[in-house]
Amino acid sequence: MTNLEARIASPVALIPEAMPHVLGLLKAAGQGGVDGATMELVHLRASQINGCGVCVYGGVQSARKNGVSEDQLASVAAWRESPFFSEAERAALALAEAETRIADSSDPVPDAVWDEAARHYDDKQLAALTLMIGVTNLFNRLNATTRQPAGQTW
């Protein structure tokens, strides 16, 4: 059974004072020197893992606007088996998965994952990726908890 009605309106809609702060985090992450396509890929992958329909739907639209190819969109969930991603994008996607699944391991972000990301991104870019993934996880948790349906806007 699928429930396509939200339990309540989005928490950031009900407490609108929160939205500028969350959007400020996203804006700051976007100024960290990582290209928009990669930022959208990590957002999309984290949202897929967390089952956030709102963020997957919106993430696909935003990814297209930021130059993510249809081949990448079609295969981001299976990026390890896909030829459509650069080494840097793969490192960012691995980081997104590790940061999103922190409860799944006693070593949530293994050194090998971090070191591979650090091979492609400088400290500021790593901070931007980490911030983007963290804010995505925040939105995913808000939306999944309150069952916000995909395609909705606030």
Neighbour-count burial for 36-47, b at 16+ CB within 10 Å, e otherwise: ebbbbbbbbbbb
The predicted structure's pLDDT at residue 129: 98
150 domain-assigned: no
Per-residue DSSP letters for 9-27? S-HHHHSGGGHHHHHHHHH
The answer to whether residue 76 is domain-embedded is yes
Give the number of domains in the chain: 1
The whole-chain average pLDDT of the chain stands at 95
pTM score, two decimals? 0.94
d(C-alpha 38, C-alpha 121), whole Å: 11
- The boundaries of the domain holding residue 118 are 16-145
Q: How far apart are CA 128 and CA 152, in angstroms?
A: 27
Q: Give tens-digit pLDDT for 46-84.
A: 999 999 999 999 999 999 999 999 999 999 999 999 999
Query: What's the confidence (pLDDT) of residue 152?
Result: 64
C-alpha angle 90-91-96 in degrees, rounded to nearest 5: 95
Is residue 44 a contact partner of residue 76, using CB atoms and an 8 Å limit? Answer: yes
Residue 104 belongs to a domain: yes
Q: What is the CATH number of the domain that holds 123?
A: 1.20.1290.10
pLDDT > 70: what percent of the chain? 96
Does the residue 135 lie in any domain? yes
Over residues 18-46, the pLDDT tens digits come to 999 999 999 999 999 999 999 999 999 99
